A and B are shown apart, each in its own frame.
Chain A
Amino acid sequence: MSLSITNSGLPPSTTTSTTSIDPTKNVEPLAVRVMRLSKPALYQNIPVYGEEESSSSVDAFLTGQSHDMAIGDDHSVLSHLLVLPYSFGNVFLGEIFSAIVALHNQSDQILHDVILKTDIQTATQRITLNVTDQIDSNKLELAPDQSISRVLQHEVKELGNHSLVCTVTCTDQNGEKHNLKKVFKLPVGKPIDLKTRFILGATHDEYYIVADIQNQTPTILNMTTVDLEPSLAYTVTNMSNLHHENSENSLCEPWRFIRPTETTTYMFYLKPRKEATFEEIHSTPTLGKLDIVWMSGFGERGRLQTNQLPKPTPSIATTNLGYLPDLRIFCMRGLGQCQVEESQKFSIRILNCTQRPMDLSLSFDNIFSKREQFLWIGIISKQLGRLEAHHTYDIDIELVPLTCGLKRIGGLKLTDLSMRHTYDFDDFHHLFVLPKIVH
């Protein structure tokens, strides 16, 4: 929070419950005042440059300026002097609301058994605040005109109306008990505006999650953590920082800061764990949740976690699980590059996504292979046998590329003999075929 002392008409940092100004007319013996204790800021000044050799007046001016303790040798606007918060400010979700409550005995008697209770009242609950100072004993005595104070902290975990409720009881010298309750409204706002969107990956189980975070506070935020905690079946790669030069010597990572009203975009790549089973991958309807932590001036900390982000439902509607094809094939082993007329072996995994067993037989689409200019060799048609629901088996196939270039490898046909349905598969792989080197 940068600060220079100007008259900008902002509401004062202290809110007071007493409205009367004439001290002799106060009915209540105790006054309660609350001041927001957001972290202080450094005083800003205006360092003026002059050359003392140019005139005696410039020399005199510089002498005068040098008596200003805020002006240092670094010619900078930022001094070493701390200044208390200028205004009450907003209270943001995820941050820690900190305040100091002062009790002042404004009567002319000694007050006994002074007890202060402080609670936060939200729309849904009432939370008693623990005190952070050393006043343990609840039975306090206040002389006339004496004040005591107490610092409170509360982590704001919900939106909506919040109030700070201060209840004070005391006994005066006549033995009369006094009761005072003051309510201070706390304006709670959203510190960031978060928009998430999903981009489907190249294969069905991969996702890109894009999160746009807009800073809606009046101070610059240092986003120390923006992480996606994936649900159990997935692993995550944080793609947000890949392009930043991470110079060892640099003293600043400017991409971490978001200035007020600015938006920064973060991206995460999710794919299933290698060991995850079919059930694990497909039964969880969620992808994970975002964990966001930030710091602002002098250690003001904030933290938000989103709910679990739901898996986006894709538009392809097929049988069974609603978004998966009945059969999926994966290339498990095989080169991506070879020489022309050099035979290539591939190992293919077949996954039965349906809930019923299949009886599969393999054949090839000759139009596909002719177009791509390769030949399947070895056993080119065979019965593969029974494949249970949600299970896989691997098969080996072999081909010879006839010409050079980048070739799509595909054109498999799997026939489910029990349902008499043939599935056609496009490319499952690409092969870059180089010319043979003649020695």
Chain B
Amino acid sequence: MSSQSIWYAYDPQWALSIRARLNELDVSDLWLFESASSASMPRLILDKYLGNPIRQMTSKKSTENELTYDSLRGDHQTLEALNNFLRQQCWRSAVDWTITYLMKNPSDYHIWFIRFACLIKLRLFQTIESEFETFGNLNSISKLPFSLRLLHAELPIYMDSNHFHDGLDRLFRLLMITNTILSVLPKDQTQLWHRRRLRILYSIANCYILMKRMDLIISILENQIVKNEPVEQQIEIYLLIVRILLQTGDELNAQRAFDRALSLLPSKENLSDGFLLTKELFSLFRNDFSSNKLLTAMKNPIEVNNHCVILLYMSKMKESLDLYEKLIRDKATNIHEAIIFNMCTIYELESFRFTQKKHELVDYISQYVGDGFSLTALKLQT
């Protein structure tokens, strides 16, 4: 069996059973059904409200238009309230919202997906795994959203380094079922499933990245994914390869990957943000720090963050901190965990008053960030 065929493998027996139900279901709901040995009703394990820890830390009083779920407020129980929490990245409030809802509607799998999607953002992996177990065999549930199946398959790879193979098992099984579905669909109805199949491959690639399996990462990205994507996406993937190689110390091949991305561009003028950010990473690698950057030219917050990090390596601690303070005050959307983490690290270096400075920072950002923000970024000793 050639190594190519694992990517396209499918089971002909499964194909028969899927084909039998082609006329009963929407294309997007197709799946391999295994009958359940016993009926299982999903239930919550985490039923205490998560609340808003950042709000609890700040000394500022809460405002009216603050976005935290309140189980006593009628207007917080609507779907629109949930969607509002989600749009503002208030993952904790969204999770709390789902507790109330799922107690009454335990078989609304779209809301289960929302709940797990928010929990995975909050890194509460064990909770998700335990609650998934209450579902029983996922393949015995009809009309389970595909995104929920994918989240279940990806879950182990984020837990810790002991579960990578569980993740790969689940992802390859998902891939095989998807391949089987593609084998029975008429050619003009395969678009959605091709997109889903490709996304599974991205998840497998992510697992390889976390495992640092250099032999497998580049191979799957180049040989399985790139050729199925349009040119703009191919460029993104090659730039991803550059980042992976620079982070593992392989400058030579990173340069080749960068050149390959460049060769896909119709014109070398006006390089996109992705290219400019990646070029900076090469300078960092080579210790080639030039301070000729026009600060006003940097609009992209990632670019500013990376420049601030490099300023520290040039011993320009004060300039770095000044630029960071300006960045987070410029726009609320510039506030990101990584940026706050970097700022707190520099605070700790700069002076003994870092605890006070961190609290001032919390007071400021608590007005703008959703309750999904991770407090560990603040490096506060509890």
Contacts and interface: CB of A to CB of B under 8 A. Distances in A.
Interface stretch (B132-140, B176-184, B253-261): B253-261
B77 to A, nearest CB: 14
Interface in B324-348: 333-334, 336-339, 341-342, 345-346, 348
B142 to A, nearest CB: 15
Given A57-B110, A78-B240, A78-B244, A5 B337 contact: yes
Band of interface residues on A: 35 or more
Give 10 closest A-B pairs by Cβ, nearest first.
Answer: A295-B249, A254-B215, A222-B249, A60-B83, A252-B218, A133-B315, A60-B86, A299-B285, A149-B317, A75-B202
Contacts of A12: 348, 379
B247 A41 contact: yes
Given A14-B349, A58-B147, A82 B305 contact: yes
B341 A84 contact: yes
Interface residues of B, number: 101
B157 to A, nearest CB: 9
B87 A60 contact: yes
B224 to A, nearest CB: 13
Contact of B146 (A51, A250, A251, A256): A51
Contacts of B83: 56-57, 59-60
Interface in A214-250: 220-222, 224, 250
Given A151-B313, A299-B287, A81 B120 contact: no
Given A74-B236, A297-B247, 19 more contacts: A2-B247, A5-B337, A6-B123, A13-B345, A50-B147, A67-B89, A68-B89, A69-B336, A75-B203, A81-B306, A81-B339, A83-B309, A83-B338, A84-B309, A100-B313, A151-B315, A251-B256, A252-B253, A295-B250
Contacts of B39: none
A147 B312 CA distance: 13
Interface of B: 28, 79, 82-84, 86-89, 94, 110-111, 113-114, 117-118, 120-121, 123, 145-147, 150-151, 158, 199, 202-203, 205-206, 209-210, 212, 214-215, 217-219, 222, 233, 236-237, 239-241, 243-251, 253, 256-257, 260, 274, 277-278, 281, 284-287, 301-302, 305-306, 309-310, 312-318, 333-334, 336-339, 341-342, 345-346, 348-353, 370, 372, 374, 376-377, 379
A256 B284 CA distance: 22
Contacts of B353: 23
A194 to B, nearest CB: 19
A12 B274 CA distance: 31
20 contacts: A5-B376, A14-B348, A33-B350, A50-B147, A58-B114, A61-B117, A69-B333, A74-B236, A74-B239, A80-B243, A81-B305, A82-B306, A84-B346, A132-B315, A220-B214, A222-B250, A251-B256, A253-B250, A254-B214, A297-B248
Given A23-B353, A100-B312, A220-B212, A5 B377 contact: yes
Nearest to A7: B376
Nearest to A43: B338
A298 B338 contact: no
Interface in A73-89: 73-85
